[in-house]
């Protein structure tokens, strides 16, 4: 366990103890905590410092650490805040995708929710070295160009392929921020936006926050169905399609080669933009990847998004938007309104990271690790839960998509799983409208290691058994 995770774990234990103590009572000494929890004195000192910063404890040199007075917030429990419901009327905001399972799992819980790599899979050493080199640049703290640093834009242009050039790239603050910007920039509030069903919940939240109306278009094992896509454009008059052609979240589906041109042609015929969310470009499991749709787009139909957050670290909030023509000018204008530019040190660090052999080594190691984790979890689920249906073993991405047997509600299974110490994502939040059944999304990248994934499958089987007993 890393020093930072040990500190968080000890702080969580101490918070529980503090809740049982009265203000002014003394906490165990550093020596006692070191022996009791098998941690270093540094970990204890950092945990105390964290709790002191939260206002939970007070440290008195030479005397020890004590529970701080519990200060009530001025007006707590007396202020009438109901007026806010009226003031916020009409300003819908879906908070579901950014709460609960997206947060770090508590100690002892097997993490199969969320969509980030466990720290053991992140290139932390390479990231640290890149950030250190970036900080030594004489212009590291100068203002960055609105569109982003030229070397970084050139790197993303090469990744997109085709005739995409640096001038077609806008650097954004992470994939979610890029999605929010693009939805706001490409369609007026009240407009429909076509989405695959199921799809990424964060995209649904961003679309709704922009005032758009997500309209589902069914998928099958080869991706979004072009025939139903054409019907949806005709029926709704939509001018916007959001899709994930490569390692779709949550199903892991790759849009079939024969359909890639069809989907582009359907969107072009409708006079619509196609938002290509290429979040999993670096998350393949060793198989060749298809070219991004934008590489074969000559008409400016595709607005392409990709990000470094998933394959590197949640805090490397660097993404790229590829667009051409008036839409790029609009997005540049939005960047100036929103935040002027993305922090230069982070962009410089991204350039440093992507320009070294360490990045290629990381991607190769990550590919191997994800392939192994995916296979282990799929095998464990088949063994422990043979009545659950795995829709397919993906060739990339971070998740498995499972359909539950008839009569099992995904929300109930997710709650029972949490009670058994495993965090999973309910499938319902992935559907823009009615779900055709009960599903769970299980991640295999956030767990600490491969044995923990097998343990997670065992706990899921216990949770399913608990529900069967309860239904009696």
Domains recognised in the chain with CATH numbers? 3-67 (1.10.10.10), 106-121+360-471 (3.90.1150.10), 124-356 (3.40.640.10)
Three-state SS at 401: strand
Q: State CA 267 to chain mean position distance.
A: 27
Among 364, 463, 359, which residue's Cα sits nearest to residue 419? Answer: 463
pLDDT at 54: 84
Residue 92: exposure state from Cβ atoms within 10 A (0-12, 13-18, ≥19): exposed
Residue 381 in this model has a pLDDT that exceeds 70: yes
Mean pLDDT computed over every residue of the chain: 90
- The per-type count for the chain, helices as H runs and strands as E runs, is 15, 16
Phi, psi (rounded to 5 degrees) for 14: -65, -35
Residue found under tokens 């969580």: 12
Q: Per-residue confidence at 101, pLDDT binned at 50, 70, 90? A: very low
Query: Hey, which bits of 294-407 come out as E strands?
Result: 302-307, 319-322, 389-390, 399-403
Positive or negative, the CA dihedral 110, 116, 121, 125 is negative
Neighbouring C-alpha atoms within 13 Å toward the C-beta of 438: 12
Among 324, 328, 247, which residue's Cα sits nearest to residue 292? Answer: 247
Pairing of strands 422-423, 110-111: parallel
Cis peptide before 198 (omega within 30 of 0): yes
Buried-exposed string 415-427: b where 16+ CB fall within 10 A, e elsewhere? ebbbebbbbbbbb
Residue 24 in this model has a pLDDT that exceeds 90: no
Q: What is the pLDDT of residues 265-297, one digit of tens each?
A: 999 999 999 999 999 999 999 988 999 999 999
Whole-prediction pTM: 0.81
Residue 357 in this model has a pLDDT that exceeds 80: yes
pLDDT at 62: 74
Are 354 and 158 spatial neighbours (Cβ–Cβ below 8 Å)?
no
pLDDT at 90: 65
- Cα 303 to Cα 8, 169, 230, 283, 293: the distances in Å are 40, 10, 19, 20, 9
Are 357 and 368 spatial neighbours (Cβ–Cβ below 8 Å)?
no
Q: State CA 400 to chain mean position distance.
A: 15
- Cα 118 to Cα 104, 245, 306, 447, 448: the distances in Å are 10, 25, 20, 6, 6
Positive or negative, the CA dihedral 399, 359, 2, 49 is negative
Q: What is the pLDDT of residues 297-352, one digit of tens each?
A: 989 999 999 999 999 999 999 999 999 999 999 999 999 998 899 999 999 999 99
For residue 223, list its beta bridge partners: 220
pLDDT at 2: 58
CA distance 274 to 331: 15
In sequence order, the 6+-apart residues with CB closer than 8 A to the CB of 158 are none
CA distance 17 to 7: 15
pLDDT at 83: 75
Span 366-385, average pLDDT = 97
429: its two tokens: 């939040």
pLDDT at 434: 86
In sequence order, the 6+-apart residues with CB closer than 8 A to the CB of 20 are none
Q: State CA 121 to chain mean position distance.
A: 15
Residue 100 in this model has a pLDDT that exceeds 50: no
CA distance 451 to 78: 50
Q: Per-residue confidence at 413, pLDDT binned at 50, 70, 90? A: very high
Alpha helices for 55-145 (secondary structure H): 83-87, 124-135
């Amino acid at each position: 366990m890393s020093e930072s995770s040990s500190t968080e774990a000890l702080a969580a234990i101490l918070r529980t103890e503090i809740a049982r103590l009265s203000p002014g009572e003394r906490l165990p000494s550093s020596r006692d905590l070191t022996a009791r929890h098998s941690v270093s004195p540094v970990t204890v000192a950092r945990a105390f410092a964290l709790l002191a910063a939260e206002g939970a404890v007070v440290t008195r040199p030479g005397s020890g650490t004590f529970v701080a007075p519990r200060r009530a917030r001025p007006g707590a429990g007396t202020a009438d805040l109901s007026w806010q419901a009226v003031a916020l009327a009409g300003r819908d905001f879906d908070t579901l995708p950014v709460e609960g399972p997206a947060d770090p799992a508590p100690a002892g819980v097997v993490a199969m929710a969320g969509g980030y790599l466990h720290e053991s899979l992140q290139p932390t050493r390479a990231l640290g070295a890149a950030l250190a080199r970036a900080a030594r640049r004489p212009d590291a703290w100068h203002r960055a160009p609105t569109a982003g640093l030229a070397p970084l834009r050139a790197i993303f242009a090469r990744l997109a392929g085709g005739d995409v050039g640096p001038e077609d790239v806008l650097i954004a603050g992470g994939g979610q921020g890029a999605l929010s910007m693009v939805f706001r920039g490409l369609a007026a509030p009240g407009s429909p936006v076509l989405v695959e069903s199921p799809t990424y919940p964060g995209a649904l939240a961003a679309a709704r926050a922009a005032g758009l109306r997500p309209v589902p278009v069914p998928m099958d094992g080869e991706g979004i169905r072009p025939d139903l896509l054409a019907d949806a454009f005709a029926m709704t008059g939509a001018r916007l399609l959001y899709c994930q052609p490569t390692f779709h979240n949550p199903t892991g589906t790759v849009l079939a080669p024969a359909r890639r041109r069809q989907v582009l042609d359907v969107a072009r015929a409708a006079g619509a933009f196609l938002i290509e969310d290429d979040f999993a470009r670096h998350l393949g499991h060793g198989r060749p990847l298809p070219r991004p749709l934008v590489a074969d787009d000559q008409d400016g139909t595709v607005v392409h998004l990709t990000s470094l957050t998933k394959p590197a670290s949640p805090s490397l909030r660097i993404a790229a938007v590829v667009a051409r023509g008036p839409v790029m000018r609009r997005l540049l204008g939005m960047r100036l309104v929103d935040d002027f530019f993305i922090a230069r040190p982070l962009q410089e660090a991204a350039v440093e990271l992507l320009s070294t052999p360490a990045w290629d080594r990381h991607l190769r190691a990550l590919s191997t690790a994800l392939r192994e984790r995916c296979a282990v979890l799929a095998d464990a689920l088949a063994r422990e839960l043979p009545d659950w249906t795995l829709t397919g073993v993906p060739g990339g991405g971070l998740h498995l998509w499972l359909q539950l047997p008839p009569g099992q509600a995904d929300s109930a299974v997710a709650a029972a799983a949490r009670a058994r110490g495993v965090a999973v994502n309910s499938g319902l939040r992935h559907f823009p409208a009615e779900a055709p059944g009960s599903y769970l999304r299980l991640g295999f990248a956030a767990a600490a290691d491969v044995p923990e994934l097998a343990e997670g499958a065992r706990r899921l089987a216990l949770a399913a058994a608990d529900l069967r007993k309860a239904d009696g």
